Amino acid sequence: MVLLIAACMLFSCTVNKPAEAPRTITVNGTGTVSAEPDQASIIVSVVTQEWVAKQAADENAAAMTKVRDAVIAAGIRADDITTTDYSIARQDTWSNGRSWPGKYQVRNSLNITIKNTSLASTVIDTAVAAGANELTSLSFSVADTSSLVRQARTLAVQQAQDAASLLAGASGCKIGQVVSISENNNSGARLLSKTFKAEAAMAVADASTPVSAGKIEVSSNVTITYALQ
């Protein structure tokens, strides 16, 4: 009878004993690489105003044709020039509780992709000299970032693994297999520095617009969980 009770107690203890939770360590790693941009993109516009909409549109078309032809002559392919905005709107004003009709404004905007960044300054000056009276955007980029992304991810994983090994070793453990890995959404490419002064080109016809591309920085941030041994 005593043996039977002891056996039942042993069986009960074996069944109800909770399984040990696996030991893990979670670390972050960041990898960053930089490269010089190999292309630039600018948005230039021709804005005209007249009391008659068609007159404003005709003047705008003539001016934008000159801008486009001049930019192509400066070395830009026609395929790299895209119209991004075209609008006609009357510029009414509000005074003394009523609306007063104004001139019609026509805006035509071109996005120009410059495959040779050394031409950025020349293209800006050429467009302004030909009749562009607004320049609203200048950006630099790397056409193909796949190689940079791979390098940044490799560095991020290596940093995370080094951190995990150090922490585990300091606590008398070793890291095992990867349990999970994720890349944070803030990873990507960003421009480190840029210098751009379009105002000089618009104010002084003979001035050369100073443009500095800086560098493109590509980063990856990962979170990895390792099993501990």
Specify whether the CB–CB gap between 196 and 144 falls below 8 A. Answer: no
Residue 122 identity: T
Q: Residues with Cβ < 8 Å from 64, sequence gap 6 or more?
A: 46, 108, 110, 131
pTM: 0.69
Model pLDDT for residues 62-91, shown as the tens digit of each residue:
999 999 999 999 999 999 999 999 999 999
Mean pLDDT, residues 197-218: 64
Show me where the domains of the chain are located: 20-38+142-229, 40-140
Model pLDDT for residues 18-71, shown as the tens digit of each residue:
667 789 999 999 999 999 899 999 999 999 999 999 999 999 999 999 999 999
Could you tell me whether strands 93-95 and 81-90 are parallel, antiparallel, or unpaired per DSSP bridges?
unpaired
Closest C-alpha to 122, from 208, 47, 58: 208
pLDDT at 167: 94
Q: Is the pLDDT score of 204 beyond 80?
A: no
62-94 per-residue burial string, b: 16 or more CB within 10 A, e: under 16: ebbebbbebbeebebeeeebeeeeeeeeeeeee
The CATH code belonging to domain 20-38+142-229 is 3.30.110.170
Q: What is the C-alpha separation between 110 and 135, in angstroms, rounded? A: 10
124 C-beta neighbours (distance < 10 Å), count: 29
Under DSSP, the state recorded for 143 is S
The residues facing 86 across adjacent strands are 108
Name the pLDDT band for 12 (thresholds 50, 70, 90).
Answer: very low
User: Domain spanning 40-140: which superfamily?
Assistant: Protein of unknown function (DUF541), domain 2 (3.30.70.2970)
Q: Is the pLDDT score of 9 beyond 60?
A: no
Model pLDDT for residues 126-172, shown as the tens digit of each residue:
999 999 999 988 999 998 989 999 999 999 999 999 999 999 999 99
Detail the DSSP E strand segments found in the chain.
Answer: 24-35, 39-50, 81-90, 93-95, 98-100, 104-114, 134-141, 175-183, 188-191, 195-196, 211-212, 216-228
